[in-house]
C-alpha cells in the first residue's frame, strides 16, 4: 500500500517500543518497514551497555531517538515500560503508539486508519483484541497471570472474556499518564509457581483493568482482531491466513477483514508461512545494513586516526581503548572508536568489543 498521509500530521504522533537487549537484525526488521510508511517520531528504548555502534548509526540515519535504559531490579521491564511510555507521550503529541518490538511488522502508515475514524480518534486509549478463537481462560499466559496476581475468583469472572493485547495499543498523553499511574500503583508479585508467566504479566494486569471497569472516567475503545490499525495474529487459524493473505514479493501482505491492508501486524511470528519470509527479509536487510554501516565506521576510524596523526609521523597509531567502566568507554557517541569493532572488508569481526554485542563473528549471522 502506498504511504498514507496522517490526518493529524506525523509531527503529532510518535511510535514507541522497548528494544532492550535485541540483536541488530530486529532493528532492521522493525525500523526499515516503519520508515517506508511513517516519517514521524520514533523512540526505541535500548540496552545501556549493549546497544552497539551499529544500532547507534541506524538510530542516527533513520532519525530515531534511542535512549538507553537501566532496568530497575526486581521489576519486569514489561511493567517499567508504561512509565517510559508516559514520559515520551506528552503534549503537543495527539496520538502515541506503544508497540512490541520483535514480533511487529509495518505494512502501511500506523496511524492512518486510527485518525481517519472519528470515533477512535476521540478516545484516550485504543486497545486491540486478539482472535476470538481464544478467550482469557483458554490462554495459559493470561490465565496464569490473572491467577497469580488476583486469584481464582477473578480468573473465574474473566475466563470467557476476549483477550486485550498489551503489546500494541494507541493512546493520548492523558491516556498513557493514567495507565502509567495505574501500573505504578499495582503490587503483583508472582510466586515461584507463576514465575514462568512473569514476562507478560502486564497483559494479564491490563485485562483485569479493562474488564473490571478500572478505566472509568477515561474514554477508551477496543478494536476487534482484523479490524482497525493492528491485526494481532497469534491465535488466528490457518484458514484465516489463507483467506487474508496476498502472496507478494519479498513478503506476503496480510489483509484486514474488509480486504484492506493491515497497517500493523503483531505476532506474525507464530505462523511459519509469515515468519519465514519476514525473517528472511529482515536478515537480508541486516546483512546489507551491517556491511554498509561497518564500512562507515571503518572509514570514520581511519579519518579520525589520520586527523590525530602527529606531524611528521610515518604511520597511524591506533586509538587506545578506554577501560570498561571509564567515561570514555561509555560516552555513547556512535562513532566512538572505543566502541567500534575491527572488521575485515567482508564484515568479519576480528574481535568482540564489550560495547558492541550486535556484531558477532559475522554480520550476516548477527542475531540468527
Give me the half-sphere count of Cα atoms (radius 13 Å) on the Cβ side of residue 48. Answer: 5
Q: Which residues, 6 or more positions from 326, have their beta carbon under 8 angstroms from its beta carbon?
A: none
As a whole number of angstroms, the distance between CA 175 and CA 333 comes to: 34
As a whole number of angstroms, the distance between CA 354 and CA 179 comes to: 36
- Which of 36, 26, 187 has the alpha carbon at shortest distance from 101? 26
Q: Does residue 48 or residue 258 have the better pLDDT?
A: 258
| Tens-digit pLDDT profile for residues 154-207 | 999 999 999 999 999 999 999 999 999 998 888 777 666 666 666 678 899 999
CA distances from 200 to 142, 153, 182, 196 (A): 8, 21, 16, 10
pLDDT at 296: 77
pLDDT, mean of residues 32-39 = 94
pLDDT, mean of residues 63-80 = 87
pLDDT band at residue 9 using 50, 70 and 90 as cut-offs: low
pLDDT band at residue 123 using 50, 70 and 90 as cut-offs: very high
pLDDT band at residue 257 using 50, 70 and 90 as cut-offs: very high
CA distances from 51 to 33, 69, 274, 328, 356 (A): 20, 10, 28, 16, 7
As a whole number of angstroms, the distance between CA 68 and CA 164 comes to: 29
pLDDT band at residue 367 using 50, 70 and 90 as cut-offs: very low
> Per the omega criterion (within 30 degrees of 0), is the bond before 129 cis?
no
The secondary element (H helix, E strand) that includes residue 158 is helix 152-158
Percent of the chain with pLDDT over 90: 47
| Tens-digit pLDDT profile for residues 215-246 | 888 899 999 999 999 999 999 999 999 999 99
**252 pLDDT more than 70:** yes
Classify burial at 333, counting beta carbons within 10 Å of its beta carbon; exposed 0-12, middle 13-18, buried 19 or more: exposed
pLDDT at 51: 52
Range with lowest mean pLDDT among 8-12, 37-41, 247-251: 8-12
| Tens-digit pLDDT profile for residues 287-328 | 887 787 777 777 777 777 777 666 554 443 444 444 444 333
| Tens-digit pLDDT profile for residues 74-121 | 778 888 999 999 999 999 999 999 999 999 999 999 998 988 888 888
pLDDT at 73: 81
Domain 71-270 has CATH 3.90.550: yes
Q: Does residue 268 or residue 248 have the better pLDDT?
A: 268
Q: Does residue 364 or residue 15 have the better pLDDT?
A: 15
| Tens-digit pLDDT profile for residues 326-352 | 333 233 333 333 333 443 333 333 333
C-alpha cell at 287: 546483512
pLDDT at 212: 93
pLDDT at 44: 96
As a whole number of angstroms, the distance between CA 32 and CA 23 comes to: 15
Amino acid at each position: 500500500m502506498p504511504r498514507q498521509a496522517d490526518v493529524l500530521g506525523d509531527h503529532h504522533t510518535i511510535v514507541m517500543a522497548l528494544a532492550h537487549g535485541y540483536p541488530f537484525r530486529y532493528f532492521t526488521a522493525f525500523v526499515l518497514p516503519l520508515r517506508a510508511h511513517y516519517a514521524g517520531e520514533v523512540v526505541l528504548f535500548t540496552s545501556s551497555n549493549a546497544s552497539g555502534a551499529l544500532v547507534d548509526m541506524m538510530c542516527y540515519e533513520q532519525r530515531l531517538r534511542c535512549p538507553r535504559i537501566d532496568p530497575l531490579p526486581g521489576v519486569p521491564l514489561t511493567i517499567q515500560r508504561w512509565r517510559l511510555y508516559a514520559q515520551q507521550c506528552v503534549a503537543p503529541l495527539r496520538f502515541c503508539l506503544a508497540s512490541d518490538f520483535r514480533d511487529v511488522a509495518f505494512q502501511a502508515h500506523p496511524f492512518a486508519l486510527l485518525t481517519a475514524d472519528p470515533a477512535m480518534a476521540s478516545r484516550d486509549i485504543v486497545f486491540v483484541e486478539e482472535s476470538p478463537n481464544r478467550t482469557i481462560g483458554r490462554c495459559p499466559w493470561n490465565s496464569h497471570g490473572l491467577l497469580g496476581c488476583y486469584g481464582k475468583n477473578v480468573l473465574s469472572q474473566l475466563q470467557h472474556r476476549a483477550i486485550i493485547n498489551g503489546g500494541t495499543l494507541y493512546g493520548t498523553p492523558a491516556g498513557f499518564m493514567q495507565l502509567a499511574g495505574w501500573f505504578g500503583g499495582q503490587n503483583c508479585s508472582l510466586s515461584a509457581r507463576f514465575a514462568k508467566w512473569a514476562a507478560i504479566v502486564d497483559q494479564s494486569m491490563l485485562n483485569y483493568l479493562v474488564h473490571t471497569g478500572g478505566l472509568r472516567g477515561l474514554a477508551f475503545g477496543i478494536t476487534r482482531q482484523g479490524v482497525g490499525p493492528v491485526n494481532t495474529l497469534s491465535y488466528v487459524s490457518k484458514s484465516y491466513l489463507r483467506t487474508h493473505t496476498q502472496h507478494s514479493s519479498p513478503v506476503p501482505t496480510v489483509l484486514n477483514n474488509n480486504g484492506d491492508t493491515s497497517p500493523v501486524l503483531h505476532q506474525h511470528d507464530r505462523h511459519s508461512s509469515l515468519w519465514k519470509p519476514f525473517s528472511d527479509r529482515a536478515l537480508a536487510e541486516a546483512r546489507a545494513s551491517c556491511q554498509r554501516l561497518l564500512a562507515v565506521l571503518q572509514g570514520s576510524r581511519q579519518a579520525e586516526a589520520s586527523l590525530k596523526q602527529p606531524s611528521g609521523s610515518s604511520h597511524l597509531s591506533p586509538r587506545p581503548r578506554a577501560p570498561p567502566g571509564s567515561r570514555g568507554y561509555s560516552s555513547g557517541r556512535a562513532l566512538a572508536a572505543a566502541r567500534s569493532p575491527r572488521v575485515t572488508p567482508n564484515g568479519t569481526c576480528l574481535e568482540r568489543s564489550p560495547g558492541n554485542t550486535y556484531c558477532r563473528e559475522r554480520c550476516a549471522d548477527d542475531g540468527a
